[in-house]
Chain A
Amino acid sequence: MVGDKSWSGRIFNGVNVLLLGIIGLVTVLPFIHVFGSSFATAGEIASKKFLLIPTEFTLDAYRFIFSTSTLTRSMLVSIGVTAFGTIWSMFISVLTAYGLSRKDLMGRNWIMFLFVFTMLFNGGMIPTFLAVKETGLLDSYLALIIPVSINVFNMIILKTFFQGLPGALEESAKMDGCNDFGILFRIIIPCSLPAIATISLFYAVTYWNTYMHAILYLSDAAKWPAQVLLRQIIVLASGLSYDNSVYTDVPPPSQAVKMAVIVVATLPVLLVYPFLQKHFAKGALLGSVKA
């Protein structure tokens, strides 16, 4: 590489590596603090004597949150909802996005506008609740998925990516006798893996973080995903009182528990991420298809 060996290229590289290193550190330090605190004793957290690694190591916080089956069970719910929800949302979003990415589709702009409009206006919690009720989804896991099938933002991003693909790809497939479904599944999707991976990640994170819908639509607490529990712990442990009129004698969860909860809530996404990350570099495929 020509650029790399020149002086300016080396300085550019060096500065870039250093800067990104610093940025990485700044973003990760608070997280390490959280991670460290989750293994610390309540006293040590209160004393604020450590920044990253506590001197006394204890697993109490984790023992506490895993001492009943609730977290394990709700984690399974979360994983299920996230997996199926992501697949479903991707399926329907890709179809919609591809259909709308085709410029020869009549009324395309109007339909697109219908979607955009829903990002700006919504009927509010109660009419939406009624729609969920009327469609028979109350108290079913589907209530966490179907009413949020498409995130218009994600769909628009997908559509933009699809539009960016060279038109020649579609033309050649048509020559080979593919119909529109054929083009989508055989050509467009394989060529858009970075975008597919990205949007899948977005959906997965949204499903993973869902909690309000669960509380609204599922009256049986046994069906709640992990975020309901995790969020409740964080809110309680942060000492936020949403309702001042109510006294309770219940001490909030300890700070270590709060930290452990953050770790537990983040870990699964961190574990999944490397698998998706591979696909972010798959853009090269495009070149090979073309060639």
Chain B
Amino acid sequence: MNNQLTMSSGKRAHIMRNILKNKWLYLMISPGLLYILIYKYIPMYGLIISFQNYKSYQGILGSEWVGFEHFERLFGSPDFWMIFSNTIILFALQLLIFFPIPIILALMLNELRSEKYKRTVQTLIYLPHFMSWVIVVSISFVIFTVDGGIFNSLLELLGFEKINFLLKEEWFRPMYILQVIWREAGWGTIIFLAAIASVDPQLYEAAKMDGAGRIRQMVSITLPAIKSVIIVLLILKIGDVLELGFEHVYLLLNSTNRQVAEIFDTYVYVTGIHQGQLSYSTAVGFFKGFVGLVLVIGANWLAKKHGEDGIY
């Protein structure tokens, strides 16, 4: 008993010492903490409405409690598994196809010897990021429509059959991921280029001395140097599993591809907010956050197990 008490008071003293020692560090993070407290944590009481039949004019205090009704409705919906698998497939495309592209692009850019050329290419590939999805989708329409679209005219000219890219469900996923790549790949290189720029040039000099070729340098110096950034981004991406870009998917969604294109956000848009059922959409948001949380914790644990820092 006694022993334990002294132990814990000893521990407390240790904590106090550490806090005192790092007082400036705690001061540094306090504005950030204050910020998330006020604008993130306090408003989280809003999640309560997923257990209510929330009516905006009755407020959270006055709305009727319904327990897990909205969650039951979500999981019991005949479309739940369709939506779930659509979401997972799009996420897999994002992870397996999209995610590596900015890394490869950044490595390629890094190998360019002409600084001017490098800067020009960099600037060009950032441009699409500034076009909203509305524009990206409408440009795609002009290119891919069968009614005089550029791509189909070209196919016809070359003697091929026209392809109905926009109204065949098998084309939805390729279109989706191509548009994501086109818009975001260049922009995604920025972080990796910054990481590469932070690599100590002496390492390259040393490697050259050892006669290492370009590919060799890339694999044994550049990649390891940016590994921690890649892993952090990977974990963050995994946490975003259910965030696939509402606006983008919504714009691509139509009656013919709903079976493969409907995701949680678009589903909620029609069944939830559209009809003022804020509770239901909050419940779906809750579910999405929960899935993300589990995955982030898992991914972070895996990273740490392999000797990486992870994100927390």
- Write the residues of chain A forming the contact surface with B, with a CB cutoff of 8 angstroms: 1-4, 6, 8-9, 12-13, 16-17, 19-21, 23-28, 30-31, 33-34, 48, 51, 92-93, 95-96, 98-100, 102, 104-106, 109, 111-124, 126-128, 130-132, 135, 146-147, 149-150, 153, 155-157, 160-161, 163-164, 179-181, 184, 192, 194-195, 197-198, 201-202, 205, 231, 234-235, 238, 240, 262, 265-266, 269-270, 273-274, 277, 280-284, 286-287, 290
Option from B105, B195, B213, B309 in Cβ contact (under 8 Å) with A3: B213
Nearest A-chain residue to B142, judged by Cβ: A48
Q: Among residues 269 to 299 in chain B, which have CB atoms less than 8 Å away from a CB atom of chain A? A: 278, 282, 285-286, 289-290, 292-293, 296
Determine if A286 and B200 form an interchain contact, defined as CB atoms under 8 angstroms apart: yes
Among A95, A160, A240: residue with most chain B CB under 10 A: A160
B131 adjacent to chain A (CB < 8 Å): yes
Interface-lining segment among B33-41, B77-85, B164-172: B33-41
Q: What residues of chain B lie closer than 8 Å to A286, measured between beta carbons?
A: 198, 200
Query: What are 14 residue pairs bridging A and B, where the CB atoms are less than 8 Å apart in the complex?
Result: A9-B214, A20-B108, A27-B186, A96-B29, A96-B32, A104-B18, A119-B239, A120-B239, A122-B285, A127-B44, A160-B309, A180-B22, A262-B135, A270-B123
A191 to chain B, nearest CB (A): 8
* Other contacts beyond A104-B22, A235-B134: 8, CB < 8 A: A12-B215, A23-B105, A34-B131, A120-B296, A122-B289, A135-B38, A146-B35, A270-B123
Contact residues of B: prevailing secondary structure: helix
Determine if B121 and A8 form an interchain contact, defined as CB atoms under 8 angstroms apart: no
Determine if B108 and A4 form an interchain contact, defined as CB atoms under 8 angstroms apart: no
B245 adjacent to chain A (CB < 8 Å): no
B26 adjacent to chain A (CB < 8 Å): yes
Interface-lining segment among B67-75, B88-96, B112-120, B259-267: B112-120
Distance between Cα atoms of A195 and B228 in the complex (Å):
14
Option from B26, B38, B194, B215 in Cβ contact (under 8 Å) with A131: B38
Determine if A92 and B211 form an interchain contact, defined as CB atoms under 8 angstroms apart: no
Q: How many residues of B contact A (CB 8 A)?
A: 94
Q: What residues of chain B lie closer than 8 Å to A238, measured between beta carbons?
A: 134-135, 138
Nearest B-chain residue to A131, judged by Cβ: B43
Q: What residues of chain A lie closer than 8 Å to B135, measured between beta carbons?
A: 34, 234, 238, 262
Q: What residues of chain B lie closer than 8 Å to A109, measured between beta carbons?
A: 312
B159 adjacent to chain A (CB < 8 Å): no
Nearest B-chain residue to A290, judged by Cβ: B200
Determine if B32 and A93 form an interchain contact, defined as CB atoms under 8 angstroms apart: yes
Q: What residues of chain A lie closer than 8 Å to B56, measured between beta carbons?
A: 126
Knowing A13-B113, A16-B108 are in contact, say whether A26-B182 is a contact too (CB < 8 A): yes
B265 to chain A, nearest CB (A): 14
Distance between Cα atoms of A220 and B123 in the complex (Å):
36
Distance between Cα atoms of A152 and B195 in the complex (Å):
18
A101 to chain B, nearest CB (A): 9
Determine if A180 and B28 form an interchain contact, defined as CB atoms under 8 angstroms apart: yes
